[in-house]
Amino acid sequence: MNIHTQIEIKKGISLKPCHTFQLEASAKYWVEVYQPDDILKLMDTPVFHRETRFVLGGGSNVLFAGDFQGLIIKNSIPGIEILSENLNHVVLRIGAGVVWDDLVKFTVDRGWGGLENLSMIPGLTGAAPIQNIGAYGVELEATFVSLDAVHLESGIPESFDRKMCRFGYRDSIFKRSHKGTYLITHVTLKLNKSPEVNLDYGNLKEILVSEGVINPDIRDVSMAVRKIRASKLPDPAVTGNAGSFFKNPVISREKFESLRSIHSDIPSYPSGNKVKIPAAWLIDQCGFKGKRSGDAGVHEQHALILVNYGKATGREVIGLASTIQKEVRGRFGVSLEPEVNIIGEDNAL
């Protein structure tokens, strides 16, 4: 039983511990919701209707350009429920406030396949379908069944199936026409009880071989992903960051062949009549790896990660990101699009 029966709107809350970039910023108003009914209670308050609103999950994909002059709604809806199960599959309904990697561990420990390649992605489950999270050749879309959400104007609960979400590469309808319109309460996923492992992306095979694993299962894959991510990615508890700052650009085959004629070593991942190229490679080629601008910088081991070395401001990080975009566009003719959600319209890249 959920013991939270009332909502409490607070003023002047620091956002530094609430997002992984750890930038100095504060919220004019702050409220935490633990169940769908809390949203309806919140909608009865003057603050809800008067202020600009932003729904915050784990804060792992957010850059605050400055103080947020409105209401932050922290989504803390808990719970993992088995909706159905047979010999082949299990269907789970997960609260939006469940930590994503806790969910991955929960499923991997039980031998339920589908999420193992998505190990160690920071954030909460409710944010996963918003950007169709993906890593090591797997995207959320592959296991997604539906989500439940509350419309933040009408208060009406609605459900969205896979087709309605209009998933794309790090994209969904909730980043476009429905941005800021709904608060996701639950996500439903279908997992495989006799899973086949996916080792086609990155150096997963090499890691497993080095560990002496000949016939890997999903636990081995999760282990390998964790090992790779830990070796490449800075711990946000130590060095503020939001993971991959830019999306990997997807370009036409014609554009790719033109680039390859000049840069023969350019890595690529073909997909239909398009080709995805690593943004990290493009940024690295422009000499940004390890570079700093004030307390904002590019990580020394992974050029796709922008970091806060202690006292960076949102404006500093945005300025560095803008410089990177211009250099990559000038050298390669390729535009980099932020994967991070930048809060503050005047500072959008």
Catalytic residues: 170, 244, 339
343: left (phi over 0), alpha (psi -120 to 50) or beta: beta
By the 8 A CB rule, do 284 and 303 touch? yes
Residues in Cβ contact with 237 at an 8 Å cutoff, skipping those fewer than 6 apart: none
- Residue 168, phi then psi, degrees to nearest 5: -140, -170
What is the side-by-side order of every strand in the sheet holding 305-308? 240-244, 305-308, 296-298, 292-293
- In whole angstroms, what is the distance from residue 2 CA to residue 325 CA? 46
Q: Where are the alpha helices (DSSP H) in 6-51?
A: 36-42, 46-50
- Only one residue has tokens 């409710």, namely 126
Residues in Cβ contact with 197 at an 8 Å cutoff, skipping those fewer than 6 apart: 113, 116, 216, 217, 218, 220, 221
Strand partners, 276: 250, 269
Tokens encoding 64:
């605050």
What is the side-by-side order of every strand in the sheet holding 80-85? 80-85, 89-95, 182-192, 144-151, 157-161
- In whole angstroms, what is the distance from residue 225 CA to residue 203 CA? 9
By the 8 A CB rule, do 165 and 172 touch? yes
243 CB neighbour count, 10 Å cutoff: 24
- In whole angstroms, what is the distance from residue 27 CA to residue 228 CA? 35
H or E segment and range at residue 207? helix 204-210
H or E segment and range at residue 8? none
